Amino acid sequence: MRAAMKGRSTWLVVIASGVLLGVLLETVTVGVRIATSGALMPVQEHAPTVANGAVAKDVAPARVTALGKAPARMLALPPANAPLASVLPALREAGMRGDGAAACRYAMEVTRCAQHARDVESEQSMRQFLEREKGIPPQKREEIDRLMAQMRARIERDTPVCKGVPPEELKGAWRVLFAAARDGHVASMARFATTPQLLGTGGRLDFDEEALAAYRTYGLRFLEDSARAGDIAAIEKLGRDSLEPGSGTRAVPYDPVKGIAYLDALAAHAAPAYRDELSRHVEGAIAAQGIRAQDVKAGEALAATILPAWTRDDYPKPRFEPEDGFGCGPGS
């Protein structure tokens, strides 16, 4: 009897301990999930989605939680240079639904059409200028003709693509890209932070204040994440901006050591022409700013470790063309 009771109570203790252990484990798990992911939502993993000029890295892909969003269903993207008027709404919608590649492609296509409108206007102005100015020196005229030919080729390529795209579509494309970037789509982070025409900071300075405010808040994070994922344009921008003095509320803090490190690291793995350009920039900055010798050395040393391993030694300067999916990643 005593022995039977002892056996039952032992079982009860074992069961109670099991329940207790389970509860404790669950409690610990909840704590860890709160601390690491920020939400009790499924973690959506994005493969590194950097296409043009990308470095395939031996690092884990960005682990980003898409708060409150179901994993996106991927839209089959249109081929390069397809007429956009009929496909833009679907691209925008897919982008807003959380399809990062669609969001990126949408924003870059819209940027292309905005540039197309400017090209048409500029070509007209240039023609008027050339009709008016008869005494242009031959060398200057050759240079103008070369630029005009490039512009004409772009206009011819983009006219059928952008035909019928409503002007209102050209405003606010950054919001779609920004949403994808915030959701962790690496290529969208990179294009958002490195496309001046999209933010309106390229040349004409027709920036959208809200877009720029968003860039100022998130730009550094986007650049660092996409640089770690191997986006060449992001690495270059991080390096150049870190190396550029200036006051105000910066997106990228002035840090000449880091600037030298990023640009030296990139130069070491760049194609010759690109390497020369980067090296000249670093040397110019050192001379113009009087950067101390110990900071230069620190930057050179940091260059070896500031980015994960490289797999190529001939990266050209990144140029985002329609045929490359604008650097929006695989499938774009």
Partner 1 sequence: MSPPSRRIGLAVVVTAIALGVWGLLDTAVVPALLALRAARVPSPGGVAASRVAAQSATATTRARPAKSGVPARPANLPALSRTIHHPLPPAGTPLVAIRADLEKLVAQGDAGAACRLAFELDRCRKLPGMRSSPAFWQQQAAKTNDPKQAESLRRMQEVVQGRLGAAEQACKDFPPEEDTLLAWDYGLASALAGNRMALWHTTFFPWGLDVQHPENTLEQWSQWRELVPQLLQAGVEGGDPRLFSLAARAYLVPYFGMQVYPRDPVRSVAYLMAIAPQAAEVYRATMQRDLQFAIERGHLDAQQVEAARAIAQTLPPLKDVPPGGFDWSRGMSPDEDGSECEQP
Mutual angle of helices 100-132 and 186-194, in 10-degree steps: 20
Contact flag: residue 134 with partner 1 (CB under 8 A): no
| Token pair in block for residue 38 | 């920020």
Contact flag: residue 34 with partner 1 (CB under 8 A): yes
Contact flag: residue 294 with partner 1 (CB under 8 A): no
Nearest distance from C-beta of residue 147 to partner 1, angstroms: 15
Nearest distance from C-beta of residue 321 to partner 1, angstroms: 25
Contact flag: residue 13 with partner 1 (CB under 8 A): yes
Q: Out of 54, 108, 176, 214, point to the residue binding partner 1 (CB under 8 A).
A: 214
| Token pair in block for residue 131 | 């009709």
For residue 314, which phi and psi values (nearest 5 degrees)? Answer: -145, 40
Contact flag: residue 140 with partner 1 (CB under 8 A): yes
* 198 within 8 A of 191, measured Cβ to Cβ: yes
User: CA 196, 112, 319, 56 torsion: positive or negative?
Assistant: positive
**Choice between 17 and 86, CB closer to partner 1:** 17
- Distance of alpha carbon 298 from alpha carbon 306, whole angstroms: 12
Binding mask 35-54 for partner 1 (x = CB under 8 A): ---xxx--------------
- Distance of alpha carbon 223 from alpha carbon 198, whole angstroms: 15
User: CA 185, 189, 195, 199 torsion: positive or negative?
Assistant: positive
Contact flag: residue 26 with partner 1 (CB under 8 A): yes
Using the rule CB under 8 A, give the single segment among 86-94, 165-173, 285-293, 304-312 that binds partner 1. Answer: 285-293
Using the rule CB under 8 A, give the single segment among 86-94, 132-140, 144-152, 270-278 that binds partner 1. Answer: 132-140
Contact flag: residue 120 with partner 1 (CB under 8 A): no
**Choice between 57 and 240, CB closer to partner 1:** 240
* 318 within 8 A of 53, measured Cβ to Cβ: yes
Q: What is the dihedral of CA 33, 228, 56, 106, to 10 degrees?
A: 90
**Choice between 139 and 305, CB closer to partner 1:** 139
DSSP code at position 305: T
- Distance of alpha carbon 8 from alpha carbon 331, whole angstroms: 63
Place of tokens 């344009």: 233
Nearest distance from C-beta of residue 163 to partner 1, angstroms: 25
Contact footprint for partner 1 (CB under 8 A)? 5-6, 8-10, 12-13, 15-17, 19-20, 23-24, 26-27, 30, 34, 38-40, 67, 125, 128-129, 132, 137-140, 175, 178-179, 182, 200-201, 204-207, 209-210, 212-217, 219, 241, 244-251, 284, 287-289
